Amino acid sequence: MVEHYFICPYCWEEVSVLIDHSVAEQYYIEDCEVCCNPINITIRFQNFRLTDFRVDRIGQ
């Protein structure tokens, strides 16, 4: 597991998630720890290196 920090697209606070680097492509929804709004999270790894990490508001 790898901890990754990002900025919430709703409240602009820095939050973190734990991500499993053994899964190459991941898509899921997680609530912000601060404002509780749902965030679309897209993650891609290549050779266990993080190559893409995107967060978007729901519906965007």
36-to-12, 24, 28, 50, 57 alpha-carbon distances in Å: 12, 27, 15, 25, 12
- Looking at residue 31, what is its pLDDT? 96
Reply yes or no on whether the pLDDT at 60 is more than 70.
no
Q: Residue 30: its pLDDT value, please?
A: 94
Q: Tell me the pLDDT tens digit for each residue of 4-59.
A: 999 999 999 999 999 999 999 999 999 999 999 999 999 999 998 999 999 999 97
